Amino acid sequence: MTHATARRVRRHRLPVRLWHWFNLWCLIVLLMSGLQIFNAHPALYWGSASDFSDPWLEMYAIRGAGGEIQGQTALGPWVFDTTGVLGYSGHGDQASFRGFPAWLTLPSHQYLTMGRLWHFFFAWLFAGAGAIFALYVLFSGHLRRDLWLPAAQWRGPVLADLLDRAGVGPRARYVVFHCMDQLGARTITTRAWI
């Protein structure tokens, strides 16, 4: 009994894989710092002008009937109690009025200026890495090799040519193909009706 050995096949070269990981971290920082910027005014408006009295989405805090503070999120005409997550989050003395909680923003404390610096710095890194990758794609042959298949791979062999070479007559009803798997030693059998 033979055991198949696992073999790792890498689809892309090291620069492409590193670029993908770099993009992932840039997008995470952009999202978290963007949420910090959103916390400065946690509301969205529909249309080309902001009507501050009628936001489409808004996160805020109110004082409830019992005097406790509640976080609320308004989405159009619907209002949801989102205490602890959106509008008002944190515990005890650390609780604060904010759209998104501290664990989801960068920096974690409310600091609009630093959030904007993180956001624009990583936006430039993301754009710069994209430009460098575009040059890499053009000059390394990555586009031609990994993304653009040659015409022969699109078309494949013509069945009539294979049947002529095998000597199959016109009265044949079906054909059985036997081939070897490229990665192992197993035989693959395929039946094709003519």
Q: Which residues contact 185 (CB under 8 A, 6 or more apart)?
A: 2
Classify 8 as helix, strand or coil.
Answer: coil
How many angstroms separate the CA atoms of 51 and 49, rounded?
6
Tokens of residue 13, six digits = 């070269």
Q: How high is the pLDDT of residue 156? A: 63
Q: How high is the pLDDT of residue 25? A: 97
Q: Which residues contact 179 (CB under 8 A, 6 or more apart)?
A: 187, 188, 190
How many angstroms separate the CA atoms of 19 and 12, rounded?
11
How many angstroms separate the CA atoms of 36 and 32, rounded?
6
C-beta separation of 119 from 127 below 8 A: no
Residue 1 confidence (pLDDT) above 60: no
Q: At what angle do helices 112-140 and 14-39 cross, to 10 degrees?
A: 160
C-beta separation of 62 from 52 below 8 A: no
Q: Which residues contact 169 (CB under 8 A, 6 or more apart)?
A: none
pLDDT bracket for residue 153 (50, 70, 90) = low
pLDDT tens digits, residue range 57-71? 999 999 888 888 899
Q: How many CB atoms lie within 10 A of CB 94?
A: 8
pLDDT tens digits, residue range 90-131? 777 777 888 999 899 999 888 999 999 999 999 999 999 999
Q: How high is the pLDDT of residue 147? A: 63
Residue 2 confidence (pLDDT) above 60: no
pLDDT bracket for residue 149 (50, 70, 90) = low
pLDDT bracket for residue 5 (50, 70, 90) = low
Tokens of residue 94, six digits = 């650390």
How high is the mean pLDDT of the chain? 82
